[in-house]
Amino acid sequence: MAIKLLLLLVAYILICMQGVIKFYNPQTKSGIILDASKKEYSLSPTALDGSIFRMLRQGQRVIFNLDEQGLATSLNLGSEIDLQTKIY
């Protein structure tokens, strides 16, 4: 059982992307994330759904996935991962 959980965690980490918030507008829920190669990804309007956070600040580090349209979604912040407050 422990090995299975470890493999799932490794798979999750491998498919996640890391980036930094370049811009975020809380009224429109739009924003941009930059990855390490400076490629820009637009935020999905639902990127913060299920999160304890309602605001993102410029320069904040995030972990995210891409949806079918190539939009950044399923944002996680360090404290969400540490506190396991995000529902998967």
Of 6-15, 24-33, 75-84, which gets the smallest average pLDDT?
A: 6-15
Q: Give the SS3 label for residue 77.
A: coil
Reading phi first (left if > 0) and then psi (alpha if -120 to 50, else beta), residue 49 is in: beta
Residue with tokens 């996935």: 65
Task: Please tell me whether the overall predicted TM-score, pTM, comes out greater than 0.85 for this model.
Answer: no
- Select from 2.40.50.140, 3.30.465.10, 1.20.1260.10, 3.30.930.10 the CATH code of 17-83: 2.40.50.140
Q: What is the pLDDT of residue 83?
A: 41
Q: What is the pLDDT of residue 5?
A: 61
> Domains of the chain: which residue ranges?
17-83
Pairing of the two strands 40-42 and 61-66: unpaired
Position 31 pLDDT exceeds 60: yes
